[in-house]
Amino acid sequence: ERGGYDHYMLKEINEQPEALERTINGRITDDGRVDLEEFPAGAFDGVSEVHFLSCGTSHHASMYAQQLLRDRGIPAHAFTAGEYATTPAPVSEDTLVIAVTQSGETADTLASLRSANARGARTLAVTNVVGSTAAREADEALFIRAGPEIGVAATKTFSSQVATLALVIERLVADVTGTPSEDSEAVLSALQELPDLVNRVIRDSTASSLANRYAGSDGHFFIGRGVAYPVAREGALKLKEISYEHAEGFSAGELKHGPLALVTSETPVVAVFSGKHDRKTLNNVEEVRSRGAPVIGVAPESADNVAAAVDEFLAVPETHPDVAGILANVQLQLVSYYVANVLNRSIDKPRNLAKSVTVE
């Protein structure tokens, strides 16, 4: 049932290339345009802003999408669903509210979706489960097609969520601005290559060799900017949830505004780079190294400046920076998996956690 893998989590990490194939299958035309059956050209005409509602890993996928939309000039905000359910932001009929939920059954996300529905927003569920409550209750639904995910830790669904949202975003930007985004062609061709690139990350990763050295540290900090920021947050969430190691993810610039006080030689720092804004994140790497922290850099393989500035280098294949975060995240999934494995944790069913959280 686990296909020869010790854990569902490792199986599902390895399934990402095929999951991504399914996610994008038929959704990009030969001449490089988005082709979403559910959302033909013009489907998003009139949208003035986008709200994302989600929890945990799905929230990190939403933060990633928020960044892509803002880069393309569209107002966007990724809210944690639990907050939005009680203190929602104002919406109008031109607000597109996207509930991002693997299971489609997360109580906080459903409560926030109901609030958006009741206040007249246009709602869309982006989910893995056909027939789920979110898919039924939102005005529209789009499926990420990742296939069933058994491990409590979300892995392949994150990658498929980000890829699906990237497609929606290119469609939406073309509709709202009347022309495809400047990066549209490059991003769509990067998405088509993504299954192969993820395959290469998994095949070539040296993450398992780090696990012994870093398991049992006082704390683990993850930093990044732009799309690398949600990936840093996701890396920390994954590590804490399956290894029970203390881990926190920060936007790289925020570290010096408080968390830096915690940085010592016993707190490894994982710095995530996408190929955009890297120089500033390198400054932050210097700040933590001068406090003695070992630094693990996750970056595109050509980033010699990163490789030279860090203690350990986890490379990902070159691609468009908007897609690079998905590759970096796969490295972080593997880091978490191997650290949890060294510590002999209950990887597929971590203590206190459930796959689907059906209470608010």
* Contact flag: residue 160 with ligand M6R (CB under 6 A): no
Closest CA to 75 of 169, 187, 178: 169
**How many other β-carbons are positioned within 10 Å of the β-carbon of residue 233?**
24
Closest CA to 232 of 102, 347, 332: 332
Stretch binding ligand M6R (CB under 6 A), from 148-156, 306-314, 318-326, 332-340: 148-156
- Residues 258-297 close enough to bind ligand M6R by CB under 6 A: none
Closest CA to 66 of 166, 180, 187: 166
* Contact flag: residue 235 with ligand M6R (CB under 6 A): no
* Contact flag: residue 154 with ligand M6R (CB under 6 A): yes
- Letter string b/e over residues 141-151, b meaning 16 or more CB atoms within 10 A of that residue's CB: bbbbbbeebeb
Residue 305: both structure tokens together: 């400046």
In the complex with ligand M6R, the residue whose CB is nearer, 56 or 294, is 56
**Count of residues in contact with ligand M6R, rule CB under 6 A:** 15
- Residues 6+ away with beta carbon under 8 Å from 275: 299, 300, 303, 318, 321, 324
* Contact flag: residue 111 with ligand M6R (CB under 6 A): no
Helices (H), 126-277: 133-137, 156-177, 184-204, 208-214, 228-243
In the complex with ligand M6R, the residue whose CB is nearer, 23 or 102, is 102
In the bound complex, what is the minimum distance in angstroms from residue 356's beta carbon to ligand M6R? Answer: 6
* Contact flag: residue 110 with ligand M6R (CB under 6 A): no
* Contact flag: residue 106 with ligand M6R (CB under 6 A): yes
Nearest position to ligand M6R, beta carbon: 56
- Residues 39-98 close enough to bind ligand M6R by CB under 6 A: 55-58
Stretch binding ligand M6R (CB under 6 A), from 21-29, 100-108, 204-212, 297-305: 100-108
DSSP code at position 338: H
* Contact flag: residue 109 with ligand M6R (CB under 6 A): yes
Is 193 within 8 Å of 166 (Cβ atoms)?
Answer: no
In the bound complex, what is the minimum distance in angstroms from residue 46's beta carbon to ligand M6R? Answer: 28
Binding site for ligand M6R (CB under 6 A): 55-58, 101-103, 106, 109, 152-154, 241, 356-357
